[in-house]
Amino acid sequence: MVNHSRTTKDSRKYGATMDTAVQTLGEPKIDSPLDSAYFVEDSERVLHSASAEEICREVNAGREPISFVKAGPRRKIYFDPSKLKCAIVTCGGLCPGLNNVIRSVVLTLFHTYGVRNVVGIMYGLQGFIPRHGHAVMELNPSTVAQIHELGGTILSTSRGPQDPSEIVDALERMNIGLLFVLGGDGSFRAGLKIADEVANRGAKIGVVGIPKTIDNDINFLSRSFGFNTAVSMATRAIGSAHVEALGSPNGVGLVKLMGRQSGFIAAWASLAQRDANLVLIPESDFDIDGPHGLLAWLEKRLERRKHAVIVVAEGAGQKYCSEEGTDPSGNVKLGDIGWYLKDRIDDHFKEKGIEMNIKYIDPSYMIRSVPANADDAVFCGFLGQKAVHAGIAGKTSVVIGTWNDEYVLIPIRLVVQGRKQVDLKDRLWTSVLEATGQPSLKPEKEEEGRQVIN
């Protein structure tokens, strides 16, 4: 018997028991219309840990290793496709691949299962609330035929909380049996409240999440769609900053990238382009002033190499520029670290009487709004298919994602326990440090005897 619920080292990090059990609306009794599919059984699991050492330690202690339910088509399904009505909603900020996922969900519902009634909820969760007056969009293979070539989302989106009871009222009025939520951490928190309200009413409405965040910071998921496209676009910005830095005396290229709490885009893009000399992310604190701070480092860098490229994630250095309050999604408001650093660097070198030319690049909105690249497009297609398989089979309050190179079902309750962040001791960040040669910008974190080549 595989353990679905136990407190582990990972789960203690998030302060809760790591419960991987998947909720269902009821017993699936209908034969799947799929003729030649490889059906997945609920007993098929994907291990949480890929470490043979950790697995052996669990087994030797008499415990079954924690695992996730494998995603895929089931032999028996819960909903009758001929009578099912589905809804799709996109929430939060824009992200490459949203239209690809919408298209995949619609095509799978229509062509694989024969569902003929699918609607898109306009402008995020606002679309459920009558006072906003947003109409729904009918979705079918014709309406989604070419949308994967477009950036953004044909359903539009919005931020901000809405009353779960009003949302479930709308779902019941529209006779929706299955809701697909495309969003990130905040959207999944809303999805969990919707699923809980559905359960409290004893209703039979499935809620399936499909992870959307450029930052790649969704808990317990290896990857979220749009991230690879964002990294590809970000590398171009870093390359442009490098060209600009080389093009003038003491040139500095400063690039701000997405990453509120996690620096994955900054780290991966810097490794892909290898033109960055300093990478600043939310997980790693740094000083600006003082003998070990950013400004002192930059002086030495320009004296030695005559140019520099700095990459900063938007959530880095908030101790210098954070704002009060939260945004409509409930996130702590961020100060603009990019402009703050630009101004500080400008002022510092003017005071020193040192010629310096800085070019500031913020490609954030350009990155968010582009169509998905080929790799993300394929990934979006799989996510949409797996989401439909799960929902039709009666799985609810789950997110579709990848773990250890397998598609799995993760309970929403587990996903929203925390944010995934860059591990400063893992190979990703140590590779960034090796590629940039950057020193610690905190005196107490300096490594004795470390050779810095920049």
Q: What residues are labeled active site?
A: 215
What are the structure tokens assigned to 6, written together? Answer: 């136990």
b/e 212-251 (16+ beta carbons within 10 angstroms → b): bbbbbbbbbbebbbbbbbbbbbbbbbbbbbbebbeeeebb
User: Do the beta carbons of residue 215 and residue 262 sit within 8 Å?
Assistant: yes
Which value, to the nearest 10 degrees, does the dihedral of the CA atoms of residues 283, 289, 292, 297 take? 90
User: Do the beta carbons of residue 417 and residue 219 sit within 8 Å?
Assistant: yes
User: Do the beta carbons of residue 163 and residue 171 sit within 8 Å?
Assistant: no
Rounded Cα distance, 191 and 398, in Å: 9
Q: How many CA atoms lie within 13 A of 228 on its CB side?
A: 14
What are the structure tokens assigned to 89, written together? Answer: 């909603």
User: Do the beta carbons of residue 250 and residue 354 sit within 8 Å?
Assistant: yes
What are the structure tokens assigned to 14, written together? Answer: 């998030």
- Name the β-bridge partners of 409: 69, 400
DSSP 291-353: TTSHHHHHHHHHHHHSEEEEEEETTTTHHHH--SSB-TTSPBPPP-HHHHHHHHHHHHHHHHT
User: Do the beta carbons of residue 178 and residue 206 sit within 8 Å?
Assistant: yes
Distance of CA 94 to the CA centre of its chain: 11
In 3D, which of 143, 88, 156 has the Cα closest to residue 119?
88
